[in-house]
Structure 1
Amino acid sequence: MQKRNNYTEIEDFLDDKSFQLWILSKIDEQGWEEWTLENRQRAKLVQDARLLLLAMKVPVNNISSSELNTALQSTWIKIEEKESTKKGNQIYPIKYLRQYWIGIAATLFFAFLSVWVYHYQYNINHTVVTYNELIEDNSEGLVEQTNNSNKPQIITLSDGSSVLLQPNSKLSYPKIFIGNERKVYLSGEGFFEISKNPKRPFLVYANEIITKVVGTSFRVRAYSDQPNVEVLVRTGKVKVISNELVGNSKEEIVLLPNQALRFLRSNLHFNKITNITEDKILVSSVGNIEQLSFEFTDIPVAQIFKTIEQAYLVDIDFPKDKLKDCHLTTSLSDQPLSEKLKIICKSIGNETSFEMNGNQIVITSQGCN
């Protein structure tokens, strides 16, 4: 006879590894489903064990100890009320009374447990805001750019802003920004350099948060399968708020250069990081574009182009012989890529121009002024 035929308590099932494998991993090597259906009383015991095992695997950070204590106290109050109404009316053997009250307690416990699991699943499903939900609410006729390659891609927006879109990421944006705001939608990771326009703020919608700026450079990391959303500021100032889809919180976090914010999706909490060098995760994820300096004093043009290539992972083709003696002094720290190139070409003069085609940039010039 199989050992499980002698199981009479929930604990017996919870200690059985093959039962755990069946419930948690859907692997039924021991024929649990068929065995369970052979007996109605057995099926009830298996169901109770299943609910308890699943509950043990539910993270408890979404329910406070006070809420748990309140629920348990409520359960025992109901039991005592039941007992007081029955007392004196009927006399049962102690054995049957014990089984009766255990049955009530178990019923109330599993009712509470079911509500808890339901609310936990409800909160998870309704606090995770997806990229598709965000773009569905937009009626501007968006263009979607997806980076399926193994290196970053440059996207230039109609206002001159640029986005360095990382692999496995996508960005939706209007062909031409209209209205009083410039809105884009990100899934994954992108480094933004925004053209200044105080009258038309720029908003990046990324899962549960909205990053609002006028003109600055910053990174947003918002992958739907990761527990956190991060914003890191390189230059300027940004404001980060919760998306209204996850609640009515009006909390607003202001970030300055070299500050960051980590939004914890599990509890909708903002964690502001005032010194990114003390955060190992942020330090390990910082890219060239966030580290390289764009302040140039009497620097050869060829070296400036090399810095841009390293930062944006682009290829720049320029007439090396004609520009070999060109040196520039300029500040490009708070400019989108296209604006950087415009400033360089204007500084070189002599009909110097550029053309961008994806990650390929061609500079045309007759030499320095």
Structure 2
Amino acid sequence: MQKRNNYTEIEDFLADDSFQLWILSKVDEQGWEEWTLENLERAKLVEDARLLLLAMKVPNSKLTSNDVHEALKETWLKIEQRELVSLNTLKIKKQKIQRYWISGIAAAILVGIFSTWFFKSNMLPQDNVVTYKELVEEDNEGLVEQTNNTEKSQIVTLSDGSSVLLQPNSKLSYPKIFTGNERKVYLSGEGFFEISKNPKKPFFVYANEIVTRVVGTSFRIKAFPDQQNVEVLVRTGKVRVKSNDLVGSDKGEEIVLLPNQALRFARKELVFSKITNITEDPILVNSVRNIEQLSFEFTDIPVSQILETIEQAYVVEIDYPKDKLKECRLTTSLSDQPLAEKLKIICKSIGGDTNYEMNGNQIVITTSGCN
């Protein structure tokens, strides 16, 4: 850990795995932020390395020492050639100005070299890529599309009572009413799914090159079109994941995931990696949201506290008569139900004429009081 105290060049930081993890994944296991702030000169060097690493656009990739060495070797060769031309024409330049000029060239060439390296080694093979548009066009049924262009998550309620917490920059296509013996939806981006149980009509989520099959459970899928991996994380129940039929692969591999398990699908290699303990994966740990970690098991808990938990989990606003429910307490389990079912159970438990209405992320509960 102390070796970084001797870092004097940008390439020292680029070759450090923990530095890459901190900048690209926001995981600071080695205390980089605190170490950086200890010294102003050091902070400037770290900032230059950070900007260059982000410019390279290589998320979740590891640069080996050999990669850095070869890139720098080529860089300095080009710098020397340019410097020779410059010295022949501008011999009276001051040393300080020349040093900054050379550094600028080095940074520009480094970005070019690493951009070329990234393009060659990390771009997705076009034969493997399955786009959201292709998936939707494969479905002959009329579909409704929900697009989240806001900065907050949005609730999408499906005709079977299932719910999807759709994250920003994501979209979901689904039939207005599920017909036949299957339920199919199509995702681009990230969504947390809570599926109504129906063994006779399995639920399928198509996302990039994979399809996830469930009967009734809750899970998260992260499948952005410009990212190298697709992730599936299970909160409750069981899911089965395999390659989409549109992928040019005959492996037919199917992965079964149980609660608190996940998988990462490498789109370039068409390879599944199962993660049996998500707490040991820093990327997954860093991406866990409220809905995946809050408990929905309530024993003699005030209704107001239960509703507050739902607000935090689903990023919704619930309007209800606080004075009429201030004495109400409930004991209930809401861990394995979609949002609509959770609200029905709460209203039924309160009793009387209690009802709810949901309009997007706004929920209104009306009641004359608990029994």
TM-score (norm. length: structure 2): 0.68
Alignment partners' CA distance in 1, 2:140 and 2:307: 39
Alignment partners' CA distance in 2, 1:57 and 1:304: 52
Cα distance change, pair 18–124 in 1 and its aligned pair in 2 (3 A): farther
Alignment partners' CA distance in 1, 2:80 and 2:275: 45
2:164 matches 1:175:
no
Give the structure 2 partner of residue 261 of structure 1. 263
Cα distance change, pair 126–359 in 1 and its aligned pair in 2 (3 A): same
Alignment partners' CA distance in 2, 1:303 and 1:160: 24
Alignment partners' CA distance in 1, 2:192 and 2:353: 31
**What amino acid maps onto 1:210 in structure 2?**
V
What is the SS of the residue equivalent to 2:370? coil
Superimposed CA distance per residue, residues 272-298 of structure 1 (whole angstroms, 9 cap, x where no aligned partner): 000000000000000000000000001
Give the structure 2 partner of residue 189 of structure 1. 190
**What amino acid maps onto 1:197 in structure 2?**
N
Per the TM alignment, residue 244 of structure 1 is displaced from its structure 2 partner at its CA by: 1.2
Per the TM alignment, residue 16 of structure 1 is displaced from its structure 2 partner at its CA by: 4.8
Give the structure 2 partner of residue 245 of structure 1. 246
Superimposed CA distance per residue, residues 21-56 of structure 1 (whole angstroms, 9 cap, x where no aligned partner): xxxxxxxxxxxxxxxxxxxxxxxxxxxxxxxx99x8
**What amino acid maps onto 1:322 in structure 2?**
K
**What amino acid maps onto 2:353 in structure 1?**
E
Cα distance change, pair 58–310 in 1 and its aligned pair in 2 (3 A): closer
Superimposed CA distance per residue, residues 63-120 of structure 1 (whole angstroms, 9 cap, x where no aligned partner): xxxxxxxxxxxxxxxxxxxxxxxxxxxxxxxxxxxxxxxxxxxxxxxxxxxxxxxxxx
Per the TM alignment, residue 249 of structure 1 is displaced from its structure 2 partner at its CA by: 2.2
Give the structure 1 partner of residue 301 of structure 2. 299
Give the structure 1 partner of residue 5 of structure 2. none
Give the structure 1 partner of residue 156 of structure 2. 155
Per the TM alignment, residue 316 of structure 1 is displaced from its structure 2 partner at its CA by: 0.2
Alignment partners' CA distance in 2, 1:232 and 1:291: 12
Give the structure 2 partner of residue 198 of structure 1. 199
Alignment partners' CA distance in 2, 1:352 and 1:59: 58
Alignment partners' CA distance in 2, 1:128 and 1:341: 39
Alignment partners' CA distance in 1, 2:80 and 2:336: 60
Per the TM alignment, residue 248 of structure 1 is displaced from its structure 2 partner at its CA by: 2.0
Q: Structure 1 stretches of 5 or more lacking a match?
A: 1-11, 20-52, 63-120
- Match of residue 308, structure 1, among 300, 307, 310: 310
Give the structure 1 partner of residue 61 of structure 2. none
**What amino acid maps onto 1:167 in structure 2?**
P
**What amino acid maps onto 1:258 in structure 2?**
N
Per the TM alignment, residue 227 of structure 1 is displaced from its structure 2 partner at its CA by: 0.6
Per the TM alignment, residue 245 of structure 1 is displaced from its structure 2 partner at its CA by: 1.1
Per the TM alignment, residue 270 of structure 1 is displaced from its structure 2 partner at its CA by: 0.2
Alignment partners' CA distance in 1, 2:354 and 2:229: 44
Alignment partners' CA distance in 2, 1:138 and 1:15: 55
Give the structure 1 partner of residue 219 of structure 2. 218
**What amino acid maps onto 1:346 in structure 2?**
K
Alignment partners' CA distance in 1, 2:284 and 2:210: 18
Alignment partners' CA distance in 2, 1:366 and 1:193: 30
Give the structure 2 partner of residue 324 of structure 1. 326
Structure 1 segments (4+ residues) deviating >6 Å: 58-62
Superimposed CA distance per residue, residues 279-335 of structure 1 (whole angstroms, 9 cap, x where no aligned partner): 000000000000000000010000000000000000000010111111110000000
Cα distance change, pair 58–321 in 1 and its aligned pair in 2 (3 A): closer
TM-score (norm. length: structure 1): 0.69
Give the structure 2 partner of residue 41 of structure 1. none
Per the TM alignment, residue 128 of structure 1 is displaced from its structure 2 partner at its CA by: 1.1
What is the SS of the residue equivalent to 1:281? helix
Cα distance change, pair 58–163 in 1 and its aligned pair in 2 (3 A): closer
Q: Structure 2 stretches of 5 or more lacking a match?
A: 1-73, 82-112
Alignment partners' CA distance in 2, 1:57 and 1:321: 64
Give the structure 2 partner of residue 343 of structure 1. 345
Give the structure 2 partner of residue 86 of structure 1. none
Per the TM alignment, residue 140 of structure 1 is displaced from its structure 2 partner at its CA by: 1.0
RMSD, aligned CA:
2.5
Cα distance change, pair 360–60 in 1 and its aligned pair in 2 (3 A): closer
**What amino acid maps onto 1:343 in structure 2?**
I
Give the structure 2 partner of residue 128 of structure 1. 129
